[in-house]
Structure 1
Amino acid sequence: MRGASATLATPVDLHLHTRHSDGDETPAELARRCIDAGLRVAAVTDHNTVAGISAFEQAVGGRLTVVPACEVTATWRGEETHCLAYFVDPHDLRFQKRIGGVHDAELAWWRTWTDRAQATGVPLTWDDVVLRLGGHRVAYVGDYLALLLEAAHGDPRFAEYTTETYDELVADWCRPGRPLHVEHPEKPDVVDVLSWIEEAGGVAVLAHPSQFVTGLNGSECVALLEPLREAGLAGLEVWTSWHTPADSGHLADVCDLLGLVATAGSDYHGVRVKPWAPLPGLLPALPADPLAVIDALHDRRPVRTSTEAGL
């Protein structure tokens, strides 16, 4: 499901993005949004980086509880999936290096894609990308496509495309066999990512998982997810702007069957990037007790020795 109508407000939002990845807002701007929305608990979950956590905490100034977190890209069953890592130690150098490798591979992919565009005759350079989007962040995919169309202005090959037809642009130019296709970098296996999160003192939750369980009954979901639970998965993101209320109800039942924590997060990226998630804390359906989610996640934190914590 690509975006459900988000109409209900919750005091807990455990899925938020800033300009340290593909969000539109700085950590300070996001902090103001969260405070204005009346949140009591928030987690910045930028993709494959923990760089925005400190600035967000400073901007919040103690007016709400901040859960240190990030969203790690992985592969499961041959598809890309995302693991939300909660209560990770943002100063854990080994964890930073691991997720940094995923981030750097994605950034290198976009640089190669930009070079490929230039080779096809579109005057788009990596310097242009760095100037507009920043040199160390993996931005929103639509922003790269917008730069491509801007650079290709007047080129009849791209005349039919607009900001409303990005899917067609990708299908015509970026799929395998097309001029701008670049093989995506290999992503870590989800089981490895679960171990990274645990070793960094964190709690792993599968982000917006309805795509994997649609059409499956309870016992089929248990069979599918049990290996991940045994590998360290602690929860599923149940209440999210990606899910309908029916999706959330089904996934909540699955969590009960498996003893997993059911979490809530809007996947807010800013008012532009994902219009179906227009503000922090807005969801199509809510947990009965949102604050109890935090306690449940906290109780799943692994016990770390001083050596594991880098002390």
Structure 2
Amino acid sequence: MKNLVDLHMHSTFSDGVRSPAELVAMACDLGLKAIALADHDTVDGIDEAVTAGAQCGLEVLPALEFSVAFGSYRDVHLLGYLLDYHDEGLQETLKEFRDRRERRGEAIVDKINEKLVFEGRSPISSAEAAALAGGALGRPHIAQVLMSKGYAHDMQDAFSHYLIPCDVPKRYFPMEEALAAIRRLGGVAVLAHPTTISTDRDTLTGIIDTLCGMGLDGIEVYNNVCNEIESAFLKAFAEKKGLVWTGGSDYHGIEEGISMGSGRGSMAVPYSCVENLKRVKASR
């Protein structure tokens, strides 16, 4: 994977199952030139990843994936690359989100326990799940506990039988606040897996046009949601609009058939994406 990168992955600090150092070790073994750790609404794992990357010659880009609301759309994901993740204001804002996320995880466990008791099974402990998390308690950590108890065969089984029906709504950043925060912190704002918002091209390009007027810098062209035709369309649209384009596996370590660096098998993101992100940042 010489000169290839993976600019979207998650660790135990949000909803991944591998530590930042483990992700770096995997990327080094694959021969990737750079990665971006983009945990959901937290930057707490970045220092660990950067330190581990320096030890094996892997470039680690600091990143953050905001959970965003935009108009009637909920759970839109916005990536902020190369931002000042040590900023005190950001840390305070993310701490509030982390606290809310922790309470959400505990509320999900409570609902799951109600279902388990109804099924004649012993309840699980949120502390067991929290012990698996490097940061805030996430749903994959709860799934791991369900699997260890024999209540679910695998991740998919845990989600379909417990985590999805027992879900609790998340809180989202308003889009304008997330874009403004990334800009204030000297970062580059990239819309993650755009087709999760809409697969209708007219609708999607209209949304991206609006976001460009609000400060969007780029779009994630290569990801695990787009097919090759959609990726080609998004890349052409990004180039037409003068946007940077990126790509990443969105690796969590729980998705069947998804690998770091190659996604579902055919993804190949060039290092030039990193250079373009740096170019945008330097132009500020």
TM-score w.r.t. the length of structure 2 is 0.85
Structure 1 match to 2:124? 124
Tell me the CA shift for residue 146 of structure 1.
Answer: 4.9
Is the aligned partner of 1:144 residue 2:125?
no
CA deviation map 1:30-50 (0-9, x unaligned): 111111111112111111111
Partners of 2:150 and 2:59 in 1: CA distance: 46
Gap change, CA 1:190 and 1:9, over 3 Å in 2: farther
Partners of 1:51 and 1:168 in 2: CA distance: 29
Structure 2 match to 1:165? 157
| Contact in 2 for aligned 1:239/1:284 (Cα 8 Å) | no
| Contact in 1 for aligned 2:37/2:46 (Cα 8 Å) | yes
Is the aligned partner of 1:227 residue 2:227?
no
Unaligned residue ranges in structure 2 (runs of 5+): none
Aligned letter for 2:281?
R
Structure 2 match to 1:186? 171
Is the aligned partner of 1:112 residue 2:97?
no
Q: Which residue, out of 88, 102, 118, partners 1:93?
A: 88
Tell me the CA shift for residue 261 of structure 1.
Answer: 0.9
Aligned letter for 2:266?
P
Aligned letter for 1:75?
A
Gap change, CA 1:60 and 1:204, over 3 Å in 2: same
Structure 2 match to 1:277? 258
Tell me the CA shift for residue 151 of structure 1.
Answer: 5.7
- Of the structure 1 ranges 144-153 and 293-302, higher mean CA displacement relative to structure 2 is found in 144-153
Tell me the CA shift for residue 86 of structure 1.
Answer: 0.2
Secondary structure of the 2:281 match is: coil
Secondary structure of the 1:301 match is: helix
Gap change, CA 1:185 and 1:26, over 3 Å in 2: closer
Secondary structure of the 1:94 match is: helix
Gap change, CA 1:145 and 1:102, over 3 Å in 2: same
Gap change, CA 1:168 and 1:26, over 3 Å in 2: closer
| Contact in 2 for aligned 1:118/1:124 (Cα 8 Å) | yes
Unaligned residue ranges in structure 1 (runs of 5+): 1-7, 154-160, 305-311
Q: Which residue, out of 26, 31, 41, partners 1:38?
A: 31
| Contact in 1 for aligned 2:87/2:185 (Cα 8 Å) | yes
Is the aligned partner of 1:81 residue 2:76?
yes
Structure 1 match to 2:185? 200
Q: Which residue, out of 65, 70, 79, partners 1:71?
A: 65
Is the aligned partner of 1:212 residue 2:197?
yes
Partners of 2:180 and 2:167 in 1: CA distance: 32
Tell me the CA shift for residue 230 of structure 1.
Answer: 1.3
Q: Which has the higher contact order (CA 8 A, sep 6+)?
A: 1
Partners of 1:46 and 1:205 in 2: CA distance: 14
Aligned letter for 2:145?
L
Gap change, CA 1:221 and 1:256, over 3 Å in 2: farther
Structure 2 match to 1:295? 275
Q: Report the number of matched residues.
A: 275
Equivalent positions of 1:259-274 (< 5 A) are: 259-270=242-253, 273-274=254-255
Return the structure number with greater helix share. Answer: 2
Partners of 1:145 and 1:24 in 2: CA distance: 10
Could you say which structure has the larger radius of gyration? 1
Tell me the CA shift for residue 162 of structure 1.
Answer: 4.3
Aligned-pair identity (%): 27
Task: Please report the RMSD computed on the Cα atoms of aligned residues, expressed in angstroms.
Answer: 2.7
